[in-house]
A and B are shown apart, each in its own frame.
Chain A
């Protein structure tokens, strides 16, 4: 039934295009790379600076620290945001930084996105939490974007429900722009992508009321990036 529906649908398209059905078409090698000249003159440090500058324009503070000093970065953030409870990715990179211990020291309630736990209970907790913490795969210098590879203990809701979002990123993984991220993703396609990959660039915003900019209408209104050196 569904197969018949599909065949009729696709056959109609081929018919209207005046030819037989085609399958397995691949795109040609495109003969231009219009992005090639962008960020040409920048070395990696330049890309990092551009990344930081772009986020500053979006009211997003970037704290650049060595992994050992992650606690200090968190201190800075906790000074400006009033946080009583936190949810964070169950991710070995966050564990390596000792996030759980650091949060203990701040005296906040905190839980990892533990997939062994009852999902509704964890969701209810996350709904009431002030801050979510995750670890990004890549940063895009051109826009100040971070790419989150969600799945399992790396819950989507962590970067979405709480009003404050803190994302760790290794500065080594900053690439020029979306083009490089697309290449990265393409390599992962054969092994199947996760159910959700997010690119996030600063805080949630809207201009729907008289084009007057406002933050945090649905997603987090405040974002911090802890950029890990080395």
Chain B
């Protein structure tokens, strides 16, 4: 659950008026979607890849109990500990317990969407544990007290000037806004934190069941530092984020990096199989894997099951025309863009999130680009169907569509309605155009003109010109 200071439409309005956001998001989108397009083009057979990736993910989801069991056995054989978390608070409890056992004073984190989902940071901080986000984008928004606005690039909504201000605050001196200087500062500052942290917490891009491995995909190196320097490593994993073997890992990683940024591979792909071995003198001494459900199992066996195939690449965000104009924060939750619009109501219900499935023109760009073929826009329609059936739509709308159903299945009445439409709209129109519409039409006419229904509809023309009846004269 998240408490939003603004409702959905308030958040949307705020985003639409944010000039800087309106520039930053399209800029980022164009970069990332261009990269993805080029990478797909270079493969030459991306549809074949998508089909296989989709099959792999579906097979894994359909056998999730078996593969999670295999993963658990192998992590434990490697000397790691596995904790199951049916809910967010269970996951938090596991982390807090480990932190307490270790008398942890500071925790360093690498990017993890599930950790945001369970609001881990604030719980750790409430227990007096310092939390440091080490991914550069996450570090920036942590300093700003904000949430990520993009799945892959969390701080796209911040300008370099804003970043320089934030970093200068920490540095105690004025830093220029040159990227190199800002990165150098972050490197030094965070290096200290890495060396002193008691616990490193990461997410998990993919777990490999056959070897009990956690694989992290990153470019900066902070994920490696997080999972190598501190004595304890905790990885938090959404329960569906695994593959059976390294053979499948090859396929999904190949799709993940290309779909996210267009890279053929990330700078670092790190596979960790348990804590350090007896012969090692670096690496964590303890490894904990927390497997999180938090509403995912409720999606199994439903019309939405395919959404669990998601590999969190962000490609759908990068092609979405709605996301393009409102950015990530307007969605209000941890996950934004098309995947956010489908997933958030599933994990958290319609009460707080009923608008999200409607924030889409159903253009299908997301479905077209998804590397694992999740029919995202069709799932949005499924949500709308469920909202109708569960009473989340207004009685006026229900009545209007009831009328629609009747009218479109009763041709005599429909015909009459079409013929009457011109006369009926006389009072609204001015020279053949409606500029101000009542009720539901207002949404349209606030933005654009509506033509008045034609004096002679097509069917009337056909009757006159072609002499009535279906085949003319």
Contact = CB atoms under 8 A, between A and B. Distances in A.
A/B contact in complex, CB under 8 angstroms: yes
A157 B52 contact: no
B357 interface: no
Interface in A127-184: 127, 140, 142-143, 145, 150-152, 155-157, 160, 178-179, 181-183
A197 interface: yes
Contact of B274 (A8, A123, A195): A195
B23 to A, nearest CB: 10
Given A18-B301, A127-B195, A199-B269, A209 B183 contact: yes
Contacts of B248: 27
A111 to B, nearest CB: 13
Contact of A206 (B31, B59, B82, B220): B220
A18 B67 CA distance: 17
Give chain A's interface secondary structure class: loop
Nearest to B266: A201
B137 interface: yes
B300 interface: yes
B75 to A, nearest CB: 12
Contact of B282 (A23, A157, A179): A157
B291 A210 contact: no
Given A122-B281, A178-B254, A16 B48 contact: no
A185 B265 CA distance: 17
Contact of B136 (A35, A123, A206): A206
A113 B62 CA distance: 45
A202 B219 CA distance: 10
Contacts of B179: 209-210, 212-214
B136 A145 contact: no
A143 B272 contact: no
A218 B134 contact: yes
Interface in A1-20: 2, 5-6, 8-14, 16-18
Given A5-B84, A34-B52, A201-B267, A192 B78 contact: yes
B245 A196 contact: no
A28 B60 CA distance: 11
Report the 5 A-B pairs with minimum CB-CB distance, sorted nearest first: A219-B221, A218-B221, A208-B137, A16-B300, A25-B66
B415 interface: no
Given A25-B63, A30-B55, A209-B183, A196 B228 contact: yes
A21 B245 CA distance: 20
A195 B301 CA distance: 36
Contacts of A37: 44-45
B282 A218 contact: no
B244 A143 contact: no
B99 interface: no
A119 to B, nearest CB: 4
A6 B72 contact: yes
A61 to B, nearest CB: 16
Contacts of A9: 68, 84, 86, 291, 293
Interface residues of B, number: 99
Q: Specify which of B69, B153, B195, B275 lies most central, judged by the most chain A CB atoms within 10 Å of its CB.
A: B69
A96 interface: no
A158 to B, nearest CB: 9
Nearest to B279: A152
B270 interface: yes
Interface stretch (B156-164, B325-333, B397-405, B425-433): B156-164
A204 B253 contact: no
B224 interface: yes
18 contacts: A5-B83, A6-B84, A16-B301, A17-B301, A117-B281, A155-B282, A160-B228, A192-B78, A196-B272, A197-B270, A197-B273, A204-B220, A208-B135, A208-B137, A210-B159, A211-B156, A218-B134, A219-B225
B219 A200 contact: no
A76 interface: no
Contacts of A202: 267
A60 to B, nearest CB: 10
A49 interface: no
A205 B263 CA distance: 12
B300 A196 contact: no
B49 interface: yes
A94 B79 CA distance: 30
Contacts of B64: 13, 17
B21 interface: no
